[in-house]
Amino acid sequence: MGGLLGGKGDMVKPNPMPAQEPAVTAPAPSVVVPLPTAPAVVQTGITAAQVARCWPTNKEAARWADALNPAFRRFELTKDEHEAAFMAVCAQESGNGARLSESLDYQPHALIATFSAFTPELAQKYGRTADHKADQYWIGEIAYGNRGGNGPPGTGDGYANRGVGLIQQTGKTNLTTAAQYFGMGLSDYRDWQRTPEGAAMGSCFYWKDNRLNRFAEVTSRDSFKKLSAVVNRGSEFKEPKDWDKRLICYERALLAFGLRLR
């Protein structure tokens, strides 16, 4: 029979098997996958030694390096190619950082060659001759009057808004745009441009505002010529003045950054 008999004839039920505890599986060790990190942005900057090589006649290389590096960072001149092109352009425009306010001390023949507004009679009257000094106020008024947002000659706009800073920003419209960006009045901005710190910031603002890095990505003669034309003539399709001198400045700046002309 299948069951066991007890003393009273009752069937004694077999003891049940103890319940089996469910097996506990140890959790698999977790694998930590590191999150991707953005690549570090390398800010090369410029040293005093490089400033001195780019601008060999400048006597304040350390001060200029201190002024330029914050401006380069703020306005995204982040490559050696950008900075070399900037230093070369400014070498020609500002006389290696020495001329932060445009001199209008022209002789008559230079006035005619430089500014289309001057007739031989006007050039002789206002230019520097053996008989008189250059009348820089009226040269500025005639050269820049009715241009770049300036009023006509005689309003004071042409002379007041002559070139300032490393890139020689010129004209009321350009200067007012920059002044507003920095939260300054026009007169205060022009004065600030005549200091290394202001000139560095203002010229780098102009550089970014005109997207000039696009001409400095490659170190080619053609790209730098277009860049020089935009700064000097307002259009990449025009011939920059003193091109041979500008190219010498560029080759010198490239060497300072360990680059070469392609």
- Mean pLDDT along residues 101-110: 98
Give pLDDT, residue 12. Answer: 44
Residues 176 and 137 in one domain: yes
Q: Which of 177, 194, 211 is the last residue of a domain?
A: 194
Three-class SS state of 169: strand
88 and 213 co-located in one domain: yes
- Structure confidence at residue 21 (pLDDT): 57
The answer on 118 and 182 residing in a single domain is yes
Classify residue 10: in a domain, yes or no.
no
- 184: which 2 tokens? 């300054």
Report in angstroms the alpha-carbon separations of 67 from 59, 74, 94, 107: 14, 12, 15, 34
Give the three-state DSSP class for 253. helix
Domain boundary among 141, 162, 194: 194
The pLDDT of residue 198: 98
Q: Are residues 85 and 137 in the same domain?
A: no
Q: At what angle do helices 80-94 and 196-209 cross, to 10 degrees?
A: 120
pTM of the model: 0.82
Please identify, among 194, 224, 241, the residue that sits at the C-terminal boundary of a domain: 194
Would you say 182 and 201 are in contact if contact means Cβ atoms under 8 Å apart?
A: yes
Range in 9-18, 124-133, 142-151 the model is least confident about: 9-18
Range(s) of the domain holding residue 249: 48-99+201-256
Q: What is the pLDDT of residues 5-57, one digit of tens each?
A: 344 444 444 555 555 555 555 555 555 555 555 444 445 699 999 999 999 99
Residues 85, 212 within the same domain: yes
Residue 211 domain-assigned? yes
For residue 30, give both structure tokens: 């977790």
Q: What's the pLDDT tens digit per position in 161-201?
A: 999 999 999 999 999 999 999 999 999 999 999 999 999 99
The answer to whether residues 123 and 180 belong to one domain is yes
Kindly state the percentage of the chain with pLDDT values over 90. 82
Query: Among residues 13, 56, 70, which one has the least CA distance to residue 204?
Result: 70
Backbone angles phi, psi at 80, to 5 degrees: -55, -35
- Same domain flag for 114 and 188: yes
The answer as to whether 173 is a domain residue is: yes
C-alpha angle 20/25/29, rounded to 5°?
A: 170
* Residue 262 resides in a domain: no
Cβ atoms within 10 Å, residue 225: 17
For residue 90, give the amino acid letter: C
Q: What is the mean pLDDT of the chain?
A: 90
* Residue 207 sits in the same domain as residue 145: no
State the number of CA atoms in the 13 A half-sphere of 140 facing the CB: 22
Q: How many domains does the chain have?
A: 2
Percent of the chain with pLDDT over 70: 83
Residue 27 lies in a domain: no
Can you say how many angstroms the Cα of residue 18 is from the centroid of all Cα atoms in its chain?
82
In a domain, residue 8? The reply is no
Do residues 144 and 158 make contact, with C-beta atoms less than 8 angstroms apart?
yes
Nearest to 224 by CA among 209, 210, 240: 240
